[in-house]
Amino acid sequence: MTDPIRLGIFGFPVAHSKSPEMHRAAARALGISLEYELFEVAPADLAAEVRAKHDERIDGYNLTVPHKETVIALLDEVAPGARAIGAVNTVVRTVDGYVGHNTDAPGLVRSLEEAGVRVVDSTVVVVGAGGAARAAVVGLANAGAGEIAVLARRPEQSEALIESLARHVDCTLEAAPLSEADWHFDSATLVVQATSATLESNPRAGEFAAMLPIDTLPPDAAVIDMVYEPLETAVLARARGRGLNVVDGLGMLLHQGAIAFEMWTGLPAPLDVMREALHD
């Protein structure tokens, strides 16, 4: 019998993660032996814990908040996309050592494509300018988006994002304050909600959604909310009310996991099984 593929996820906290169930279900469906553990590690302990797992020759791992940026210094190599984004969510053991990737960016693109959203030559508005927004900008630019405007409540945050990403992407980028959303929404073909404002835990999510000028979007525009708890966020509910194409954040979670699974196992990810595990 061959040794199991040994994987895990570093986070703080991490108990809420849906990744273990998703990857275990995929392995069961394909009949392969795979272990996927939770590594709840405080920021101050990350370096020691990651080095210990490398010494044990772990096959690969995921990283979630707050470790996606700090892990970079601990890796042997970082793929160009992840380097541009400044965040790694997937690490793979190779003959050259531990290599970091960002599968959030292509995961977002795959989830949009699956929902029939055209990315090539799109006019995109990204709302928010944190880590998820950075992944969105790089993923969409690499997939052929025409123009991307990044809107943040603190304009200096969107300006810094654009400044740091401009040399990495071949796409027109613009930063603007969220208060100027009207100007950008009326010509957008795709809105990417990349803030944490629509999370279930935010009692003011409804207010945030009401402030976005969803009514000014063209009728053929699409709206994705990266947040998946709840699945139907206040922003998606408004967009659905207008009859727009809406995409929830679970598809991105699924596809970032599927890409990671394929990197670790070399096998095509059983998407339906993984999707079902997420919904459960």
Active site residues: 68
Q: Which residue's Cβ lies closest to ligand NDP?
A: 130
Say how far apart CA 185 and CA 180 lie, in whole Å. 9
Residue 132 sits in the site that holds ligand NDP (CB under 6 A): yes
Q: Is 21 exposed, middle or buried (0-12, 13-18, 19+ CB in 10 A)?
A: middle
Determine which residue in the list 43, 80, 97, 130 makes contact with ligand NDP, applying CB under 6 A: 130
Q: What is the total count of residues that contact ligand NDP (CB under 6 A)?
A: 25
DSSP letter assigned to residue 248 = -
Task: Answer yes or no: are the C-beta atoms of 185 and 192 closer than 8 Å.
Answer: no
Q: Is 62 in the site for ligand NDP (CB under 6 A)?
A: no
Binding mask 173-212 for ligand NDP (x = CB under 6 A): -----x---------------xxxx-x--------x----
Q: Are 183 and 147 in contact (CB under 8 A)?
A: no
Of 93 and 126, nearer to ligand NDP (C-beta) is 126
Candidate residues 152, 162, 176, 190; the one interacting with ligand NDP per rule CB under 6 A: 152
Stretch touching ligand NDP by CB under 6 A, among 3-11, 25-33, 226-234, 267-275: 226-234
What is the rounded distance in angstroms from the CA atom of residue 242 to the CA atom of residue 33? 46
Q: Does residue 228 belong to the site contacting ligand NDP (CB under 6 A)? A: yes
- Rule CB under 6 A: is residue 225 a binding residue for ligand NDP? no
CB-CB contact of 158 with 188 (8 Å): no
Q: What span, in angstroms and rounded, lies between the C-alpha atoms of 47 and 29?
A: 34
Say how far apart CA 278 and CA 171 lie, in whole Å: 33
DSSP letters, 50-68, are: HHHHHHTT--EEEE-TTST
**Is 236 near ligand NDP (CB under 6 A)?**
no
Contact between 10 and ligand NDP per CB under 6 A = no
Least distance to ligand NDP from the beta carbon of 153, Å? Answer: 4
Residue 227 interacts with ligand NDP (CB under 6 A): yes or no: yes
Query: Rounded to 5 degrees, what are φ and ψ at 213?
Result: -80, 60
What is the rounded CA–CA span in Å between residue 19 and residue 11? 11
How far apart CA 184 and CA 150 sit, in angstroms, is 10
Among 6, 9, 88, 104, binds ligand NDP (CB under 6 A): 104
Interface with ligand NDP (CB under 6 A)? 104, 128-133, 152-154, 157, 178, 194-197, 199, 208, 226-228, 249, 252-253, 256
